[in-house]
């Protein structure tokens, strides 16, 4: 396969300080493609603000800039696109790219702003035979992959429970919950029960995110997952991810601790493995997506894996709306948190 022709949908504007109104993630994607220049070439971008698109194109050294991404898809004969827009735009952009004959789509997370949208994206990619992947790049970090190796080698026995702490389960939590899938071998969930608190408005990239959460999920293999965030930023898990097995515990990024530590059953002391440096995670992730495309194998960032965590997220919000357990498959179309705000059932105070 010759070099992939790559385009970008949504460049954003580089700012001195990234915030909830924009990260300009396309620049991170662009840096990754530039590092992979032997396999791909950046040829075009589209942004509704022409000035932003031109600045992006000038930075990465190509000419074609569009204000309508559909025009770019129609004219540029692209092999791959990166979608770096806010969540509510992901669904139409992914569907349009699938229909335009793109071979691979690398999309920012979270998947979509509704559960129905996430499923429609997956269906469009399957129908068109497009590789659709999402930027859950933590799967390539040294601490996380070493923890998975320890688990697979039996360092803590059989996996029993996974725990995670995240400020919200939708935007930041898509990473946390995706990593539970990573450790549990992409096993789908059976049910979820959850409660949220949303008393102060928290908008991230235009989407509502709760202030506090408590979520319990059971996976199809009997492993349980616990996601929790305490009030005021002080949570009960105090760890990005904790793996609890029959014969010990592994902690990935515990608060105040090393990047990785584990303690076999019966031991009073933590073992801290020596870790090498992280690669650039987005470069590693996009590089893997390209390799998988060329080799015809499934990428671990595949939409089918992303759907597992996304179902848990929207299922937890639905559980809060129903005030009860939600059994999967999840049979809703909307975003229950957004719907509860729109209906007045939740009335977060403006910041």
pLDDT tens, 45-83?
999 999 999 999 999 999 999 999 999 999 999 999 999
Find tokens 């408005």 and name the residue.
Answer: 201
| pLDDT (0 to 100) of residue 2 | 86
Closest CA to 286 of 38, 43, 106: 106
Fold of the domain spanning 140-276+308-343: Dihydrodipicolinate Reductase; domain 2 (3.30.360)
Q: Which two tokens stand for residue 279?
A: 């690669």
Q: Are 242 and 250 spatial neighbours (Cβ–Cβ below 8 Å)?
A: yes
Q: Are 153 and 211 spatial neighbours (Cβ–Cβ below 8 Å)?
A: no
pLDDT tens, 219-244?
999 999 999 998 776 789 999 999 99
Q: Which two tokens stand for residue 324?
A: 């009860």
Give the Cα separation of 226 and 82 in Å (integer).
Answer: 32
Residue ranges covered by each domain of the chain: 4-137+283-301, 140-276+308-343
Q: Which residues of the chain have pLDDT under 70?
A: 1, 17-22, 233
Fold of the domain spanning 4-137+283-301: Rossmann fold (3.40.50)
Q: Are 265 and 154 spatial neighbours (Cβ–Cβ below 8 Å)?
A: no
Instruction: Please check whether the two domains, 4-137+283-301 and 140-276+308-343, share a CATH topology.
Output: no
Q: CB within 8 A of 126, min separation 6: which ones? A: none
| pLDDT (0 to 100) of residue 14 | 82
Q: Which two tokens stand for residue 179?
A: 């990593």
Instruction: List Cα–Cα distances, 303 to 90, 136, 308, in angstroms.
Output: 13, 11, 9
Instruction: List Cα–Cα distances, 110 to 66, 188, 222, 285, 327, in angstroms.
Output: 25, 18, 26, 16, 22
| pLDDT (0 to 100) of residue 143 | 98
Q: Which two tokens stand for residue 75?
A: 């004219």
The total number of residues written for the chain in this structure: 351
| pLDDT (0 to 100) of residue 20 | 62
Give the Cα separation of 121 and 171 in Å (integer).
Answer: 18
Q: Which two tokens stand for residue 7?
A: 């385009």
| pLDDT (0 to 100) of residue 19 | 64
Give the Cα separation of 74 and 145 in Å (integer).
Answer: 39
Q: How many CB atoms lie within 10 A of CB 350?
A: 5
Torsion angles phi and psi, residue 312, rounded to 5: -65, -45
Give the Cα separation of 125 and 133 in Å (integer).
Answer: 10
Closest CA to 238 of 186, 289, 164, 168: 164
- Distance of alpha carbon 125 from its chain centroid, rounded? 17
Q: CB within 8 A of 317, min separation 6: which ones? A: 169, 170, 194, 196, 335, 336, 337, 340
Tell me which DSSP letter residue 270 carries: -
Tell me which DSSP letter residue 87 carries: G
Cα separation of the two ends of the chain:
51
Give the Cα separation of 271 and 285 in Å (integer).
Answer: 29
DSSP 46-77: E-SSHHHHHHHHHHHT--EEES-HHHHHHHS-
């Amino acid at each position: 396969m010759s070099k992939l022709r790559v385009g970008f949908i949504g460049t954003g504007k580089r700012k001195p300080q990234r915030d909830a109104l924009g990260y300009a993630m396309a620049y991170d994607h662009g840096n990754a493609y530039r590092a992979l220049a032997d396999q791909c070439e950046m040829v075009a971008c589209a942004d509704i603000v022409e000035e932003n698109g031109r600045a992006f194109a000038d930075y990465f050294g190509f000419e074609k800039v569009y204000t309508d991404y559909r025009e770019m898809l129609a004219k540029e004969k692209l092999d791959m696109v990166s979608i770096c827009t806010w969540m509510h735009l992901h669904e139409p952009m992914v569907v349009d790219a699938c229909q335009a004959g793109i071979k691979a789509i690398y999309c920012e997370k979270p998947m979509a702003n509704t559960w129905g949208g996430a499923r429609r994206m997956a269906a469009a990619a399957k129908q068109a035979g497009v590789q659709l992947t999402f930027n859950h790049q933590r799967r390539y970090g040294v601490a996380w992959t070493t923890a998975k190796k320890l688990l697979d080698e039996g360092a803590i026995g059989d996996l029993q429970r996974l725990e995670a702490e995240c400020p919200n389960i939708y935007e930041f939590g898509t990473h946390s919950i995706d990593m539970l899938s990573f450790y549990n071998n992409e096993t789908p969930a059976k049910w979820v029960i959850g409660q949220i608190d949303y008393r102060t408005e928290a908008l991230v990239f235009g989407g509502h995110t709760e202030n506090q959460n408590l979520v319990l999920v059971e996976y199809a293999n009997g492993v349980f997952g616990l996601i929790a965030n305490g009030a005021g930023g002080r949570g009960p898990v105090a760890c990005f991810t904790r793996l609890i097995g029959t014969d010990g515990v592994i902690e990935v990024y515990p608060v105040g601790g090393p990047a990785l530590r584990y303690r076999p059953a019966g031991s009073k002391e933590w073992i801290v493995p020596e870790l090498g440096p992280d690669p650039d995670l987005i470069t590693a992730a996009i590089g893997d997506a390209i390799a998988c495309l060329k080799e015809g194998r499934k990428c671990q960032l595949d939409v089918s894996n992303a759907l597992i965590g996304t179902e848990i997220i929207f299922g937890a919000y639905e559980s809060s709306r129903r005030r009860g357990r939600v059994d999967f498959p999840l049979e809703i179309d909307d975003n229950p948190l957004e719907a509860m705000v729109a209906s007045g059932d939740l009335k977060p105070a403006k910041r």
